[in-house]
Structure 1
Amino acid sequence: MKIQYLPHKKIDLEKWDNCVQKSVNGNLYAFSWYLDIVSEGWDALVCNDYETIMPLTHSKKMGISYLAQPFFSQQLGVFSTKVTTPEVVNKFVAAIPKSFKYIEINLNKYNLLTPVPAGSRKNHNFELDLIFTHKQLTRKYTENARRNIAKAWGNGLTIVSNGCTVNDFVNLIKNNVGIKMVSIPREKYNNIRKIISYALHSRLGEISAVYNQKNELVAAAFFIFSHKKVIYLFAASTEEGKEKRAMFLLIDEFIKKYSEKNLILDFEGSNIEGPARFYKGFGTINCEYLTIKQNRLPFPLKLFKK
């Protein structure tokens, strides 16, 4: 197979998005509009007239080009309209240009590598199949999750779909780094705003908001739909929201709304014990994906980046 490297300006975005849409393993993060927001000027590897593709999300530091996983894009890697074999994935990884001196990127859960490269690590992602009735789904909740949902209902909370503005939601994240978020560089908040605005305008997403009895916003989450999957992409709670277990209520109501539909609810992680316990409380299953690392830095820089 002939794999071609394309700088950004030579990528046929229409063919690219068509491949992502029709890919056996396509996902939201690989669409050109999304990549343009999270990794401006991204490049690509392409095979057989966009039958199989791989985005190269690059940056530069001290004059050195490298590949890194962009914020808000959990899984990228190789996408194809045909089933990707370990051999194909290996060939794409090997085809990454040598000009990228350091690589640390996430593949997607369908990208298997044999053997697994040294320095790679497995990551946890929790998913829930919503095809079942809400009653069937709640049977798989942990006792702790059920108890917290009941507590939330007793606190007089109200849930409103698309009940807050994009700016109010982004400010909620800024001021209250919630159970879903890790520390975010301040310049990345504009990307959050762009993603949500595009998705709402394109009818690809929705914000679920929780208010207290004083009509104050105490929790919110943004969900985005693609490839028969809905991703719990951004979320945050105030201290009051955490105390009143607002996010447990929000998630349960979202599950109820979309139960008995051909959808997978993707919680997007996590390797961190606290969030992972929260996601597992809703009866999710763990779907692993791989982070690959390659250090091509010249000596002595190679010693400082393990």
Structure 2
Amino acid sequence: MPPLRLLRFSQLDLPAWDACVARARQPVPYAHSWWLQATAGRWDALVQVASDGRYLSVWPLPAKWRPGGRQVYQPPFTQQLGLLSCVESAPAIGPELPQLARRYARFYTQLNEANGLPDVAKDFAVEARQTYQLDLSSDYQTMRAGYCADYRRRLLRHEAAAAPLAVTNLPDAAPLLALFQQTKGPAAGLRPRHYARLRRLLAELHSRQLLEARAVRQPETGALLAGALFVRYRSRLIYLFAAASDEGKKAAAPVLLLDDAIRRHAGTPGLVLDFEGGMLPAIARFFANFGAASVPYAALSFTSQRPWYLKWMR
């Protein structure tokens, strides 16, 4: 099999790239060229190229220039990248990494869950990360029985209310982004450029009919209590982005949104809801309360020890 080669963005065949990602054994939408162009702009990559020009394996390495040299980083709204392959005999992760990482002043990447934990501990700092996932192949009532008792009680009270809150489609995500900026935005450290990238990404997802946007509104005023954006891609339903007002949290609107997603997709063979998070204990408990289980993946980081004035040398 051909080896992995490091290519710069200008050397990439993007149609061949997307064909490989679409066929890859790992269902990772973040690796598509249109996702990376929206969130990172340009990227380097390790690519395994067949003799006929097809891409057999790809590993995106978003890179940017910073004082001190070129850095590989994880773009916003991009949970996992790592090695994706559409052949069974995929290249091993590890042997070429130390030499590759030394080409950069800093190297940080989050692998996908199928990559496992590569044996590179002596050269890299390896961080064990986790996301939470829920198998949606069972029927809704079975899945609801797996919720924590408190969530089941809240849903029963909500259903018995004279005017229960409704979960509806959200035609325009702009109000949801505004709600996030008002509530979580400052603590999350997102800046205007991050929201611009998110808007570009949402436009790409919408154009490909991969985006599901849902909302809970206050019945009398129409005010947005909470909203969530989901990405439906192959065997994954990804909980990409969400926000809730204080009133929405009191009304358990985030619980209603996730219950609505589970209800709509329950009974779909092979479909998995990826909550796309769980590193914070409170968030992990929230996801686990729906019956979701922790799924590990790894992050690798490496910092070159060369003086800054030699970082340009490759």
Q: TM-score, normalised by structure 1?
A: 0.90
Tell whether the 8 Å contact from 2:101 to 2:107 is kept in structure 1 after alignment.
Answer: no
Tell me the distance in 1 between the aligned counterparts of 2:274 and 2:118.
26
1:132 Cα deviation (Å)?
0.5
Q: Aligned AA for 2:216?
A: V
Structure 2 unpaired stretches of 5+: 310-314
Q: Secondary structure at the match of 2:113?
A: coil
Equivalent in the alignment of 2:73: 68
* Equivalent in the alignment of 1:102: 106
Counterpart amino acid of residue 225 in structure 2:
V
Amino acid at match of 1:283: G
Which residue is 2:272 aligned to? 264
**Cα distance between partner residues in 2 of 1:131 and 1:288:** 21
Cα offsets for 1:230-271 (capped at 9, x unmatched): 100000001110111101011101111111113111100111
Change (3 A) 1:233 1:58: same
Change (3 A) 1:114 1:164: closer
Q: Does 1:130 align with 2:136?
A: yes
Once the two structures are TM-superposed, the CA of residue 139 in structure 1 deviates from its matched residue by 1.4
Number of the residue aligned with 2:56 = 51
Q: Provide the identity percentage.
A: 27
Tell me which amino acid in the other structure corresponds to 1:111. N
Task: Kindly state the Cα deviation for residue 121 of structure 1 after the two structures are TM-superposed.
Answer: 1.1
Offset at residue 16 of structure 1 (A): 0.4
| TM alignment of 1:153-164, pairs within 5 A | 153=159, 154=161, 156-161=164-169, 163-164=170-171
* d(CA) in 2 for partners of 1:257, 1:298: 54
Structure 1 residues 294 and 151: alpha-carbon distance in aligned structure 2, compared to 1, 3 A threshold: farther
Matched residue type, 2:224: L
Q: Which amino acid aligns with 2:6?
A: Y
Tell me the secondary structure at the aligned position of residue 191 of structure 1: helix
Task: Please say if residues 117 and 297 of structure 2, whose CA atoms lie closer than 8 Å, have aligned partners that are also in contact.
Answer: no
Contact 1:75 / 1:107 at 8 angstroms: preserved in 2? yes
Match of 2:32 in 1: 31
User: Judging changes above 3 Å, is the alpha-carbon distance between structure 1 residues 151 and 194 closer, same or farther for their aligned structure 2 residues?
Assistant: farther
The letter for the 2-side match of 1:250 is: L
| SS of the residue 2:287 aligns to | helix
Q: 1:83 to 1:122 in 2, by over 3 A?
A: farther
Alpha-carbon separation, structure 2, partners of 1:138 and 1:249: 12
Distance 1:94 1:152, change over 3 A: farther
Report how far residue 110 of structure 1 moved.
0.7
150 and 164 in structure 1: CA distance in 2 versus 1, 3 angstrom threshold = farther
Whether the 8 Å CA contact 2:93–2:118 is kept in 1: the answer is no
Contact 1:89 1:112 in 2 (8 A): no
Where 1:223 maps in the other structure, the secondary structure is: strand
For the residue of structure 2 that corresponds to 1:71, the secondary structure is: coil
Q: Which residue of 2 aligns with 1:111?
A: 115
1:233 to 240, 251, 259: 240
What residue identity is the alignment partner of 1:35? L
Instruction: Say which SS state the counterpart of residue 110 (structure 1) adopts.
Output: helix
> Offset of 1:94 from its aligned partner?
4.1
Among 254, 278, 282, the alignment partner of 1:274 is: 282
Instruction: Give a deviation string over 1:159-202, Cα, whole Å, max 9, x none.
Output: 102x3412222212211228xx9332332001111111221222
Q: How does 1:1-306 map to 2 (within 5 A)?
A: 1-49=2-50, 50-83=55-88, 88-91=92-95, 93-94=97-98, 96=100, 98-117=102-121, 118-153=124-159, 154=161, 156-161=164-169, 163-177=170-184, 182-214=188-220, 215-262=222-269, 263-299=271-307
The two structures have a TM-score, normalised by structure 2, of 0.88
Q: Which amino acid aligns with 2:278?
A: S
Alpha-carbon distance in structure 1 between the residues aligned to 2:119 and 2:41 = 32
For residues 64-114 of structure 1, give each alpha carbon's deviation from its aligned partner in whole angstroms, at most 9, with x where no partner exists. Answer: 1111111110000100012476x6111453462532121121000011244
Give the total of aligned pairs.
Answer: 297
Matching residue's letter, 1:142 = C
Amino acid aligned to 1:276: A
The answer as to whether partners of 1:17 and 1:32 remain within 8 angstroms in 2 is yes
- 1:132-155 deviations in whole A, cap 9, x for unaligned? 000110111111222333455447
Shift in CA distance, 114/173, structure 1 to aligned 2, threshold 3 Å: closer
- Give the letter aligned to residue 298 of structure 2: L
Segments of structure 1 that go 5 or more residues without pairing to the other structure are 302-306
> Does the 8 A contact of 1:134 with 1:260 survive in 2?
yes
SS in structure 1 opposite 2:80? coil
- In structure 2, C-alpha distance between the alignment counterparts of 1:250 and 1:232, rounded to whole Å: 10
